[in-house]
Structure 1
Amino acid sequence: MECHVYYEGDDDPDKCTARRLEKFDKATLYRSMGQVPYGIVLNPHAEQALSPADADDGLGTLVALDCSWESAEAASFKMRGIHRALPFLVAANPINYGRPFQLTTVEALAGAACILGDWELAEDILEPFRWGETFLTLNEEPLRRYSECADSSEVVAVQDDYLADEE
């Protein structure tokens, strides 16, 4: 599975996980949407949750949006691909540690890889980050449960269990 990132560059370059992925040759960054390959687009505004069933489409390509929340919705409308939202996961990055749904680009890609059954890819792309292994540890149970689901509706049902516990 390949990792690709649409990169707007509107964050601190020193804290940008997408740039670090590119530096370590673990993802390809694109500044033009037209260059981004067709794949599974990790879109926080998508209507359907990512599930293991999405691995069956044979795309083998994960696309993350590395942009502000404000511009993510506008950018996602223009992006080609199969749009999927990540279910409940908790951030391990130092800025948003412990906060649900506040993932960095690398955390989103790693979470997606796990849900799609590619745990080795998740470990590989998280390797350059001190807190990378912590992301997998913090989310071990939900990622395992999501990866055992048959489809998006089952993923949403599992997510609802976690959201009920958060309240």
Structure 2
Amino acid sequence: MDLHVRYEGDDDPEKCTARKLARFDLAELHRSPRSVPPGVVLDPYAERALSPADADEDVLVALDCSWETAEEEAFKLDGPHRALPFLVAGNPVSYGTPFRLNTVEAFAAGCYILGHEEQAERLMSKFRWGHTFLELNAEPLERYANCADSTEVVAVQEEYVDPE
């Protein structure tokens, strides 16, 4: 799966996971929205959840910016927009925070859900804490990857968000 990042450059360069992915040739950075190829856009404001039904796409796109400046307008990129389901961050900055993933975590989750588990593991292997994200989210990632569509993903997510 090809990974592309609409790179805003407003995060700390030392902690920027998108830049590190680019250094390892695991993702391509784009400064302009026009240069980003169409693909599944990981968008926390999307109305549909990412699911294995989106696996026919071969491009995954993320927006790399600070959570403080992320807004719906920034995600105006071509392609179907999909939200990642409930997962918790494993990175040192947002550890344990639900839905607050950094770029590499979002890509790894997307790859895993779309059936590219080995690619997800390769991405996370570049970070000291990468195994933590995969361990924290092992069960939900496996369950999401076994869903048929967005509706099933949302049903599984509800078991984590609103357990009874």
Alignment-derived partner of residue 71 in structure 1: 70
Indicate the residue corresponding to 2:107 in structure 1: 109
In structure 2, how many angstroms separate the alpha carbons of the residues matched to 1:89 and 1:138? 8
Task: Tell me what 2:97 maps to.
Answer: 99
3-state secondary structure, aligned to 2:34:
helix
How far off its partner does 1:49 sit?
0.3
CA shift at 1:94, angstroms?
Answer: 0.4
Question: Deviating runs (4+, > 2 A) in structure 1?
Answer: 68-72
- Structure 1 residue 82 displacement after superposition: 0.8
Q: C-alpha offsets along residues 68-116 of structure 1, whole Å, 9 cap, x if unaligned?
A: 333341111x211110000000100001111111101000000010100
| Normalised TM-score (structure 1) | 0.94
The DSSP-based 3-state class of the residue aligned with 1:71 is: coil
Q: What SS is found at the alignment partner of 1:4?
A: strand
Q: Distance in 2 between matches of 1:121 and 1:72?
A: 28
CA distance in 2, matches of 1:94, 1:55: 30
Tell me, yes or no, if structure 1 residue 8 matches structure 2 residue 11.
no
Distance in 2, Cα, partners of 1:33 & 1:142:
32
- Contact 1:44–1:84 (CA<8 Å) still a contact in 2? yes
| Cα distance in 2 for residues equivalent to 1:61 and 1:123 | 18
**Cα deviation, residue 139, structure 1:** 0.3
Superposition RMSD in Å: 1.1
- 2: CA distance, partners of 1:51 / 1:114: 10
2:70 aligned counterpart, secondary structure: helix
Sequence identity percentage: 63
Query: What SS class does the counterpart of residue 63 from structure 2 fall into?
Result: strand
Q: Following the alignment from structure 2 to structure 1, what is the Cα–Cα distance between the partners of residues 131 and 19?
A: 19
Residues 1-167 of structure 1 mapped to structure 2, 5 A cutoff: 1-56=1-56, 59-69=57-67, 70-76=69-75, 78-165=76-163
Greater helix content: 1
**Residues 25-79 of structure 1: per-residue CA shift (max 9 Å, x gap):** 11000000000011000000001000000003xx211000101333341111x21
What number of residue pairs does the alignment pair up? 163
Cα pair 1:65 1:72 within 8 Å, conserved: no
**Partner Cα distance (2:3, 2:44) in 1:** 17
CA–CA distance in structure 1, aligned partners of residues 144 and 25 of structure 2: 28
| Partner Cα distance (2:71, 2:27) in 1 | 19
